[in-house]
Amino acid sequence: MTRTRRTRLSLALSTLLFVAACGGGGAPSDEPDGPPPLAVDEELRALLPEEVRDAGTLTIATEPSYPPASSFAADGRTIIGFEPDLGAALGELLGVRIEFRAEGFDTVLDGLSEGDYDAVMSSMTDTPERRANADFVNYFRAGSAIVIARGNPLGIHDLGGLCGETVAVESGTLHVDVLARGQRNCGNQPIVVIESSSNDDALLELRTGRAGAVLTDYPPAVVASTDERTQAFFQLASDVQYEPGLYGIAVARDRAALRDALAGALTSLVRSGHYQHVLDDWDVGSGGVSVVTVNGGAV
Amino acid sequence: MRWPGRARATGTRLFVVYAVASLVPVVALGALLADGIRQDARDRGLELGRAQAAVVGEMVVAPALQGSDLTSGLSTQEMARLQRATDLAIFRGSVERLRLRDFDGSVLFSDDGVATPEVVAGGRPRTAADRAAEAAEMAGSAAFRVAASGDAHVTILDGDSAGIQVFQPVVGDASGRSVGVLEVVLPYAAIAAEVEEAKSRTYWRLGAGLAVLHLVLAGISWSSTRRLRRQAAESAHAALHDSLTGLPNRELFRKKAESAIRRSGGCAVVLVDLDRFKEVNDTLGHHAGDRLLREVARRLAATVRSGDTVARLGGDEFGLLLPGIADPADALYLVQRVSEELSAGLVLEGVPLTPEASFGIALHPADGDTLEELLTHADAAMYEGKRGTSAVVVYDRALTGAPSHHLSIQHDLRLAIERDELRLEYQPQVDLRTGRTATVEALVRWQHPTRGLLPPIEFLPAAEHTALMGPLTEWVVSRAAADCAAWTAAGRDWVVAVNVSARNLHEPDFGGTVALLAGQAGLRPGQMQIEVTETALPVDPDAAAAALATLAAYGFGTALDDFGVGYASLSHLRSLQLTEVKIDRAFVAGVAEAGEDRAVVAALIQLAHGLGLAVCAEGVETVEAAVWLQQVGCDRAQGYYFSRPVPWTELAPDGHWSPDRPATDSRTKVMT
């Protein structure tokens, strides 16, 4: 909530400053920390597919159980996080309205292929397997982390400690693969994997004792172990991020124009500092990228 | 402790003000707390409803939906699961109503199986439009909008269908996603009863506590107002009462007397002066004096009527106020009774005493319209009593003359002494054996600037019994001494006789004063004789006797004036230090002819001589009287026959009288 409010405030302020700059002939900014004001970049807008420009709306799918990237606000309906904030900034540059839609993670690329929405922005790591179905505009870097019960009753400190334990993961994520690879070192004490429909459902397994650990991305792991509603139950096994990779905005392979427009707009945000500001606003500034790549993830 | 009525009324009013003033914050506090309790009870009900609804939503509804987002309504399976999950609670009344709505307000599930009745109020079948309108109305309601935006909205339904109505979001899964709005009505009667019971319990406790608080406050204010009131009453009492006797003081006496005077119906003002109080103080000590005063106070207070006032005016002087008495006889009767009661014997420090007092009575309105007048008159009457035989005297105007006249005379006389307007004339006393002038009696005159030369009768009564008597007598003594020195220097051996008043004899060391003044003029004590009127003695016989003894010890002659007409007992002649008695003119006037007066005068001469005293006859106006007196052995004679009073320089320097050669003053004869 706090973060949301601060974001809205700074956005409101930047709008105000922008208006002041236009009307007053370039008054110096009083808020050096604020993101630079955004205006529609017609060159980038020109890159958009015509049907998108005509619709005026860009629909982006996300699985909102992944704070601080994307999650439901207190009303249970609004989706907030640095992904919606970045998406909104992209929309402002491109002159279209951005609409985030909640979807299940394990089928989200299928919906993209079928044209249910224009893009996916759901902490999805850019991997060769996924690139078979989509192009990725890389916008963040993060690895995996192990969330365990507060007090660490099972004594789990690293991936090796997961052998013989029940571990919950969100279905369709790379963590499923990480655990599969980890099984090789477990001998006759295999890891029991529970695949949940969302990250929150995986944490629910841990909270209720049906799982001994959750493997998830580092940012949501930090939130789960520090948020005041959940910190009493969760902690990190360690600060290590396993197998870091690049998040990417997934765009259908046949929509290169859209992909390039988004990449151009994101590059503009990175250059203008708006990008870093959004990440800092959600306390994930260290995961930012300095150069925007397309399909730049692991080979 | 007696409180005046007004003080008690004021105290009570003060207490009532305190009590009411403290009641206001207490009641306000009570109202505040009661309101808080009411609010708390309501909040408890709301919170209870909110918590129960949350449990219903998360443990019953959400699991039945299994993550469905309701955008396309409920599937048959979802509907069945919902029914199974809620049936028992609805049947047992744990939930009175349960409805699931989508965000548009449309009912997806209802506890009674029907989303809305199939007919509307008018009996017309419900149409799809009706349902849409109702859903839209619901979606627009405040409670629904609150729930749709993520919060619970709880209200308490009053009236017949008492319940807690909760609108809350339906959170479909762990990610916190809201899929619709749950409307739940929970039973409130039990909660309400419990809340009501707790409320009334708290009210009772609060009421009792506040009552105790107020009682304590009231008690504190009662005791402090009482203390204040008592202090005020005590200081008021002390300001108006004599601390020794507890009687009203002069101030209170004045107030009461003035109010009695204002009321018609008359009243008597009585001044009471103890006799010989100074003696008690001097011989038995102040402690005994105080005891005597207390006893006198007690007796006075015990004897008067209940509505009368007894006050101690100062020293040994008391005042009585007898309201409703206008008749002198009534006053006399009452006060005599007081006087009798007062004079019952008592033993003080082992000494038996008879307290006696002089009572002077003045009556309103007969004797004056103001308290000052009445007091002056009562004072005059009291002094008359001290001079006379009666202890109780009612004021008689003829007794002292107009007091206002007196006051002005006193004032003028004081000035007269300062301005040297007084004169002395002298009347010779002739030695009947030798025929020569032996003594000259100084008689004071006032050379009044407007009224001419005034005889003593014009001004002495006004000065009598006032402080003026001291300076007046001192002036006379010193002028007489100076005159005596003058005629001594001129070769005359006359002794000078000076009259003093009773009041002079009571002055401390009067003898010393006379000796000093005589000495200043160069006089030997033997050249001066002090004459005291017999009627002056009874005022305080002991003090007079002491003063005479002192004078005699200095060597001054002492004579008893006007002997025979006063009330002094013969024992005075024996007990007082006297050298001469002067027989009053009342007897002497009749001795020219044979009769009873001759017998009296002859007997008096015999008596005096028997006691070793010289005798002087006053008021000798004829040669026959002078001759007779000479024959019966009277030592000296004085009167107009020999000479009227004149300045000493006009007296015959070597006057010599014999029956054959009568007195030389022709003017005297003219007068007679």
Q: DSSP string covering chain A, please? A: -HHHHHHHHHHHHHHHHHHHHHHHT-PPPS-TTSPPP----HHHHHHS-HHHHHH-EEEEEE-SEETTTEEE-TTSS-EESHHHHHHHHHHHHHT-EEEEEE--GGGHHHHHHTTSSSEE-SS-B--HHHHTTEEEEEEEEEEEEEEEETT-TT---SGGGGTTSEEEEETTSHHHHHHHHHGGG-TTSPPEEEEESSHHHHHHHHHTTS-SEEEEEHHHHHHHHHSTTTTTTEEES-S--EEEEEEEEEEETT-HHHHHHHHHHHHHHHHHTHHHHHHHHTT-GGG--SS--BS-S--
Q: Which residue has the higher pLDDT, A114 or B386?
A: A114
Residue with tokens 């408890």: B44
Average pLDDT over residues B102-108: 89
Burial A82-118 (b: 16+ CB within 10 A, else e): bbbbbbbbbbbbbebebbbebbbbbebbeebeeeebb
CB of B189 closer than 8 Å to CB of B201: no
- Is B174's CB within 8 Å of A77's CB? no
Distances in whole angstroms, Cα of residue B614 to Cα of each of B484, B580, B607: 21, 4, 10
Averaging pLDDT over each range in A83-92, B125-134, B447-456, which range is the top one?
A: A83-92
Q: How far is B162 from chain A (nearest CA, A)?
A: 29
From A27-41, A200-214, B281-295, B469-483, the region with the lowest mean pLDDT: A27-41
From A56-70, B571-585, B637-651, the region with the lowest mean pLDDT: B571-585
On whether ipTM exceeds 0.90, the answer is no
The pTM score is 0.52
Counting Cβ atoms within 10 Å, is residue B342 exposed (0-12), middle (13-18) or buried (19+)?
A: buried
What pLDDT sits at residue B391? 80
Q: Which residue has the higher pLDDT, B587 or A170?
A: A170
pLDDT in tens, B283-298: 888 888 899 999 999 9
Chain B residues 147-186 with a CB less than 8 Å from chain A = 148-151, 169, 171, 173-179
| Best residue of A72, A123, A205 to probe chain B, by most B CBs closer than 10 Å | A72
3-state secondary structure of B537: helix
Chain A residues 51-70 with a CB less than 8 Å from chain B = 64-65
| Best residue of A70, A75, A205, A216 to probe chain B, by most B CBs closer than 10 Å | A75
- Is A76's CB within 8 Å of B179's CB? yes
Could you say which of B151, B173, B178 has the minimum Cβ distance to residue A77? B178
- Is A200's CB within 8 Å of B171's CB? no
Question: What's phi and psi for B66, nearest 5 deg?
Answer: 50, 45
Could you say which of B149, B173, B174 has the minimum Cβ distance to residue A75? B149
What pLDDT sits at residue B667? 38
Chain B residues whose CB is inside 8 A of the A203 CB are: 174
Distances in whole angstroms, Cα of residue A39 to Cα of each of A97, B363, B667: 13, 118, 151
Res. A5: pLDDT tops 70: no
Instruction: Output the DSSP codes for B130-198.
Output: HHHHHHHHHHHSHHHHHHHTT--EEEEE-STT-EEEEEEEEE-STT--EEEEEEEEEE-HHHHHHHHHH
Res. B661: pLDDT tops 70: no
- Rounded to an integer, what distance in angstroms lies between the CA atom of residue B435 and that of residue B659? 9
pLDDT interval class at A275 (50, 70, 90): very high
Fill in the DSSP letter of residue B58.
Answer: I
- CA dihedral sign of residues A286, A291, A294, A299: negative
CB of B648 closer than 8 Å to CB of B483: yes
- Is A72's CB within 8 Å of B174's CB? no
pLDDT interval class at A141 (50, 70, 90): very high
Question: What's phi and psi for A98, nearest 5 deg?
Answer: -100, 130
Averaging pLDDT over each range in A78-82, B78-82, B258-262, which range is the top one?
A: A78-82
What pLDDT sits at residue A131? 94
- Is B173's CB within 8 Å of A77's CB? no
Average pLDDT over residues B589-601: 83
Res. A119: pLDDT tops 90: yes
From B100-104, B251-255, B540-544, B601-605, the region with the lowest mean pLDDT: B540-544
Chain A residues whose CB is inside 8 A of the B70 CB are: none
CB of B253 closer than 8 Å to CB of B313: yes
- Is A200's CB within 8 Å of B169's CB? no
| Best residue of B59, B70, B149, B175 to probe chain A, by most A CBs closer than 10 Å | B175
Burial B84-110 (b: 16+ CB within 10 A, else e): ebbeebeeeeebbebbbbbbebbbbbe
Q: Which domains does chain B have, with CATH numbers?
A: 3-193 (3.30.450.20), 250-402 (3.30.70.270), 428-442+468-669 (3.20.20.450)
**CATH number of the domain at A143-243, please?**
3.40.190.10
Res. A163: pLDDT tops 90: yes
Res. A27: pLDDT tops 60: no
Type of residue found at B628: W
- Is A72's CB within 8 Å of B148's CB? no
Chain A residues whose CB is inside 8 A of the B173 CB are: 197-198, 200-201
- Rounded to an integer, what distance in angstroms lies between the CA atom of residue B606 and that of residue B599? 11
What pLDDT sits at residue B453? 84
Report the candidate in B381, B234, B368 with the shortest Cα–Cα distance to residue B319. B381
Averaging pLDDT over each range in A106-120, B85-99, B386-400, which range is the top one?
A: A106-120
- Rounded to an integer, what distance in angstroms lies between the CA atom of residue B243 and that of residue A289? 106
Q: Which residues pair with A147 in a beta bridge?
A: A214, A236
- Is B176's CB within 8 Å of A102's CB? no
Q: Output the six-digit token pair for B186.
A: 């929970």
What pLDDT sits at residue B158? 77
Could you say which of A74, A75, A200 has the minimum Cβ distance to residue B175? A200
- Is B150's CB within 8 Å of A64's CB? no
Q: How far is A64 from chain B (nearest CA, A)?
A: 7
- Is A75's CB within 8 Å of B148's CB? yes
What pLDDT sits at residue B217? 80
Q: How far is A154 from chain B (nearest CA, A)?
A: 24
pLDDT in tens, B626-636: 889 999 999 99
Counting Cβ atoms within 10 Å, is residue A232 exposed (0-12), middle (13-18) or buried (19+)?
A: exposed
- Rounded to an integer, what distance in angstroms lies between the CA atom of residue A94 and that of residue A84? 15
Chain B residues 40-79 with a CB less than 8 Å from chain A = 67
Q: How far is B148 from chain A (nearest CA, A)?
A: 7
CB of B273 closer than 8 Å to CB of B316: yes
Chain B residues whose CB is inside 8 A of the A220 CB are: none
From B88-102, B208-222, B526-540, the region with the lowest mean pLDDT: B526-540
**Pick among 3.40.50.10740, 2.40.160.10, 3.40.190.10, 3.40.50.1010: CATH of A33-142+247-287:** 3.40.190.10
From B14-23, B454-463, B480-489, B500-509, the region with the lowest mean pLDDT: B14-23
Query: What is the C-alpha end-to-end distance of chain A, expressed in Å?
Result: 38
- Listed by start position, the domains of chain A span 33-142+247-287, 143-243
Average pLDDT over residues B422-428: 91
